[in-house]
Amino acid sequence: MNQTQSSGTAKPTTAAPGHSPRLLAIGVIGAAMVDHQVHRTASTRARLEGAADMAQRLGMLDGAEAQLVATLLARYDAGQPFTAFVPGAQV
């Protein structure tokens, strides 16, 4: 809870309007992707796969986006460098 300077009473903090669930899901997946790129552990991979799976099940991630996550994970498994992904390139 935040306190405003004028009243001194606590007021709840809410998310800014306009943040769609889809954008929030993509943000969570992006954060999980970076975490997995940095740490490369089974738990970071599971978190990334779980976030992508849940987002797809909820309709926040389409099939092509889910496939991109799977393709990037396969590239990590194959030991390809992270720079192998170029936005807009054929995956």
Residue-wise pLDDT for 38-52, tens only, equals: 998 999 999 999 999
Rounded Cα distance between 41 and 57, Å, is 24
Summarised one tens digit per residue, pLDDT across range 79-88 is: 876 555 555 6
In this structure, are residues 48 and 32 in contact, taking their beta carbons and an 8 Å threshold?
yes
pLDDT tens digit string along 15-70? 566 779 999 999 999 999 999 989 989 999 999 999 999 999 999 999 999 999 99
Tally of CA atoms within 13 A in the half-sphere of 82 that contains its CB: 6
Q: What are the distances in angstroms from CA 86 to CA 68, 71, 72, 81, 83?
A: 12, 13, 11, 11, 7
Q: What is the CA radius of gyration of the chain?
A: 18
Rounded to two decimals, what is the model's pTM?
0.67
